[in-house]
Structure 1
Amino acid sequence: MLQKCSQSQKHASQSQQRFFPAKSFSTYQPVIKVTPKVSLFDQEVLITVHGLTRKAKVTLQAWIQHEWRREKVVFASYGHFVASEQGEVDLSKDSPVGGTFTGIEPMGLLWSLAPLPGHPTDIRLVWKDVTKPCDVHIALFPGHITPSDSTVCSEDPDPRPMCVTTASRWMKAADVSRVEIKEGRLRGMLFLPPGEGPHPGVIDVFGSAGGLMESRAALLASHGFAVLSLAFFNFQDLPKTLEDVQLDYFEEAVEWFSSHPAVREGGIGTVSVSFGATFAMLTAMQCPQVKAVVQINGPPFLIMRDLQRKGQVFVKSVQLDLNLATNTKEGYITKDALLYSPSDLLPMWKSSAHMLCLVSDDDGLNNPQWIEELRTMYPEDRRHLIEVVHYPGAGHLLEPPYTPHCRACMNPAEGKHCVWGGNPKQHSEAQRDSWQRLLAFLHDKLR
């Protein structure tokens, strides 16, 4: 599926040279194997080590370089292992005896990545350029060490790595096309899977960060969907703030996209998170072309800003009272600071669209009870249209599988640091499960 191996391997080799001395001081010739070495971001890989002495104590360390708000940040993870009698380590079978994850976790080195000590911790890993891979470097060290003792933090480390490899993780399969969209007011990026089609169509919308975020759309297209990654504010000539966003814009997007020759007739789906999920619900209520809605941690009512349609206020918003929020060292927890009543809940049951609600129970922004209240509002004969899945220990930012967990960072909508919530292990489990449910739901409803 992925055709860019040679370019990726050349890029990886150059990255390794910056971190590792050419000379090795090991008597043995251990090898780290990642299978496959080039993969989609949501694909599980097998990580093994061969060629060690029996019962050798070693450290596997992974890291990536990331740019966050113009700052270079290194995310790192590690696991302490004891080799088998055959001198091997297999992450699909072996538990670390120490490190950033516990238990048998084949992808533990990836999902437990976190900013290195000394780097900012309030960072969300957002892979913005889907035309390039996310290169994950994996090194093997003798003994049990931490990243602070290794090459990531020192140009002359002791001990030096025994070997190193790089796994390239892609958000977009090589045969998925990427086309910029400027149609009327619409701004975004269209991703089309290979083949003549038509394909099941999905509009992908993010939340209060604004701009254009392509990663999830590119990954969805790699699973056979035609996907429009739709920007709706703070991008090119679109409105600069949420206050100026109108519902008509989303309706225009549905009309244009559902009639696109590459999109299968009979209805489209939406995937949306946070503020974007609220807009997606409102759009489904107005547009019968929307058959399936994936609602990821979005409030089932409008928050903070009234929404206009055709130049008039269409939906009044629920206000945030920061006096009711909890202010912690990490940031604000606002899930109990919204002044709403049951009448503010969007009457989604009036739409014929099926809705899958993915709810993180440790969300610092949204109270998981909101979606339960919405479900109870559905008449009995329409309750089959809503499915709710709860994830204990997961935070607000449910991303595709193996995306590192971000517990707190700046919330652009509120201009303050907010606690997204969750803990790394349960959040990772939620991301894996929710992604599979999301794909199955869309394939089922858009047949």
Structure 2
Amino acid sequence: MKLQTEPRVALIDEKINIYVTELTPGEKLKITASMHFPWAIREKYESFAWFTADSNGNVDLSKHKPDSGTYDYIDSMGLIVSLQKISSEGGNIALNISIDPSVFIDIVCECGQHRECVRLERMFKLPEVKRQQITDEFMGELFYSEHSNNKTIVVLGGADGERSGLSLLSGPLASRGFNVLTVGYFNEEGLPKKLEEIPLEYFETVFSWLQKNPLTHACEIYLHGTSKGGELALLLASKYNVISKVAVSAPHAYCFQALDGLMSGKNVSSWSYEGKSLPFIPVDNDIFYEHQRSCLEKNTPFGLTTTYKKSVEAAKNKEDARIKIENANADILLIAGMEDNVWNTYDACVEVMDTLTKHNYKYAYNFLAYKDLGHSIPIPYVVPLSETLNVKMDLGVFTCGGTLKGNSYGQSDSWQKTIEFFMKPVQP
């Protein structure tokens, strides 16, 4: 038996090919993967799959479906995406994130009395990527290298306000030659504590800093936003012509009520401009509670998509609250899962596309829709999907939607196309 993995050292978002040769045709083989995050070493993950060697005595994970295991479809990364927590001391992997050390994944093959092992190194960034904290004019972190191109991607996170998690995207992007700036806009020192009435003028400072900073040479400013950050990215692109590309994962087409207001009842927008709350769609909590109650009775997972969909349908001020994306001066890439259960992002992206078509939008725009993708983080192979697909909450289970296979494919395909989108020159 001979275990081969290619490559053994790679960036965290790159695919691995695992294959085993020199087996007896028809022989049974078990492959196990195990890992932990360097910042949460007591939270341990493992996956496994059983295979039957083909007529040539080979098992190739890119070609062969497992007989059984933690995933049940053909995928060279199946063991990685299906990692499940096997032991824990209650740590939170979203805290104290550090992308300086690599993640190591142990691959073990067992066939009868034979055993082969290999350790894979998964880097969050290449060694040449440098980092600079910004705390004076705004809260952010710049990822760059001496040979960075003139393209700067501003990365905007979602409703949790946890900026350290954005480094999981920024390291891999900066390793491909971009300048990458993560920007915090609430829940940090000196910033609003809650995601409510965030002033858009704050980002004018960010754009000005990028244009003046000798490290970035920011001839071209791009935006990447996820979920609530996608709503923000589209809003900023509609207002500021310094943005030449915007890629959004699970965005919405409207400005919504402040998230804190979603449960407290505070009736203000998530965003403000010139000291005034921007027009917004109010979110009806009663819709959510009714949906949750119904799901609990049926013992099925619940989500928020129904709440957002019905709130939009019931709104009397849809046009005022709509993000005027037709006013943007940027190439646009929309990414959405058709099974998103956090909000109705697929409907929103269809509406954005219809708007751009109706207004004969002169810049490039594209929509990537994935049938079995839910509301997942935009980069693949970083956080095990078992951590994000379904989350225990209150008396039931909150689901982000989609399947293991659908989320894995959607993450991988859309991330690769996002990189290609940012790489492609802006059309004059």
1:402 corresponds to:
381
Residue deviations 1:59-101 (CA, integer Å, cap 9, x gap): 1011222489x79433222110123466543223333222222
Residues 303 and 319, structure 1, Cα contact 8 Å, conserved in 2: yes
In structure 1, C-alpha distance between the alignment counterparts of 2:149 and 2:38, rounded to whole Å? 37
Which of 133, 142, 145 pairs up with 1:190?
142
Mapped pair 1:390 → 2:369: yes
Mapped pair 1:234 → 2:190: no
In structure 2, C-alpha distance between the alignment counterparts of 1:435 and 1:126, rounded to whole Å? 24
- Number of residue pairs aligned between Structure 1 and Structure 2: 395
Which of 87, 102, 125 pairs up with 1:133?
102
Residues 122 and 407, structure 1, Cα contact 8 Å, conserved in 2: no
Residues 398 and 430, structure 1, Cα contact 8 Å, conserved in 2: no
Alignment map for 1:39-438 (pairs within 5 Å): 39-50=10-21, 52-66=23-37, 72-84=42-54, 87-116=57-86, 128-142=97-111, 162-184=115-137, 186-195=138-147, 197-212=148-163, 213=165, 214-243=167-196, 245-305=198-258, 306-309=269-272, 312-325=275-288, 326-327=291-292, 328=295, 332-338=302-308, 339-340=311-312, 341=315, 342-343=318-319, 344-367=321-344, 368-378=346-356, 379-382=358-361, 384-403=363-382, 404-405=384-385, 406-409=388-391, 418-438=398-418
Unaligned runs of 5+ in 1: 1-29, 144-159
In structure 2, C-alpha distance between the alignment counterparts of 1:126 and 1:110, rounded to whole Å? 21
Distance 1:121 1:95, change over 3 A: farther
Distance 1:315 1:122, change over 3 A: farther
Query: Larger deviation: 314-323 or 360-369?
Result: 314-323
Residues 207 and 275, structure 1, Cα contact 8 Å, conserved in 2: yes
Letter in 2 for 1:49: V
Residue deviations 1:266-317 (CA, integer Å, cap 9, x gap): 4311011011111112222222111111111012212221145466124133
Identity %: 23
Shift of 1:377: 2.6
Distance 1:75 1:330, change over 3 A: farther
Query: Larger deviation: 334-343 or 431-440?
Result: 334-343
The CA RMSD measured in Å over matched residues stands at: 3.1
- TM-score normalised over the length of structure 2: 0.83
Shift of 1:126: 8.5
- TM-score normalised over the length of structure 1: 0.79
In structure 1, C-alpha distance between the alignment counterparts of 2:153 and 2:411, rounded to whole Å? 19
Shift of 1:127: 9.2
Unaligned runs of 5+ in 2: 259-268
* SS of aligned partner of 1:43: coil
Letter in 2 for 1:372: V
* SS of aligned partner of 2:380: coil
Letter in 2 for 1:321: D
Shift of 1:31: 4.5
Shift of 1:324: 1.6
1:21 corresponds to:
none
* SS of aligned partner of 2:305: coil
Shift of 1:409: 3.0
Distance 1:312 1:345, change over 3 A: same
* SS of aligned partner of 2:196: helix
